[in-house]
Amino acid sequence: MKKLIVTTIAIAMTTCMAYSQEDTLTESVSVQTEKQHIEQRHSVGISLFMIMNFFPDPAAYYQINYGYRFTPKDALVVEAKTWTYYEPIGTYGNSEELYPGKVVAYGIGVGYQRFHWKNLYTTVQATPFLQLYYDTEDEKIQNGFMLYLQLRLGYRFEFFNKRVFLEPSLVCNYWPVNTNVPPAFAEVNNGTPNYFLFEPGLNIGFRF
C-alpha cells in the first residue's frame, strides 16, 4: 500500500512538472500573488488519497480544508478530517499486533502555511481529535482524545490561471496527548512510537 502511495505521488509530480512548465517559466505563486495584490485569497481542497476508500479494506479517510491568504506568503488553514484505523498509528502498515476492534477519529485542525522559494511551502498544524473506540463486535466502548501535531513540507503546482492547484508533500506527525485509551488498546500501543515521519500527502484544490 505504501509503495502504491509513493508511486502515485511520483507520477503526479512528474505529470505536474510536465504540464506546468510554461507557468513555472513565468513567475512563482508568491511573486504572482504579490503583483495581483493578493487576489484569490480563498481556497478549498481535498486529499486525493480519499480514492483509497474505493479499495478493499478502506480506512474511511476523508479530508477537506479551507485556506485564507492574508499576506502574499502567509495563509491560515482550517482542515476537517476523519479516518478509521485498526492498529497503532506509529507503526501503521507494519504493526505486529492489531487492536481488538477499531478507532474512529474526528478532528478539526488549524494551521499556518508559509510560502518560501517559488511554490515551496511549509505548514504547521494542530488538530484535536475525538476518538471513538469500538470492540470486535462493533460495539462502542468509550471516547478518547488525541492532540495531533503536523509539520508539512510541500510544493504547489498551479494550473488554469493559478486557480487549480496540486500539492504533493511529506508530513511529520506527532501526538503528545492521547488520553482515555481502553486498556486492551493501550496494551497494543505499548512500545510503539507516538510519531510517524515522512507520511506522503497529495492534495488538490481550487482558489477563488
Non-local CB neighbours of 119 within 8 Å, separated by 6+ positions: 28, 29, 30, 155, 156, 157, 158
AA letter at 197: L
Distance CA 5, CA 19 (A): 21
Cell (9 digits) for 94:
507494519
List the domain boundaries for the chain. Answer: 2-207
Q: Chain centroid to CA 207: how far?
A: 18
pTM of the model: 0.81
Q: What is the chain's mean pLDDT, rounded?
A: 87
Q: Chain centroid to CA 109: how far?
A: 11
Distance CA 45, CA 206 (A): 6
Indicate if the pLDDT at residue 4 is higher than 50. Answer: no
- Give me the pLDDT at residue 24, please: 42
Class of domain 2-207: mainly beta
Per-residue pLDDT of 142-191, as tens digits, reads: 999 999 999 999 999 999 999 999 999 999 999 999 999 999 999 999 99
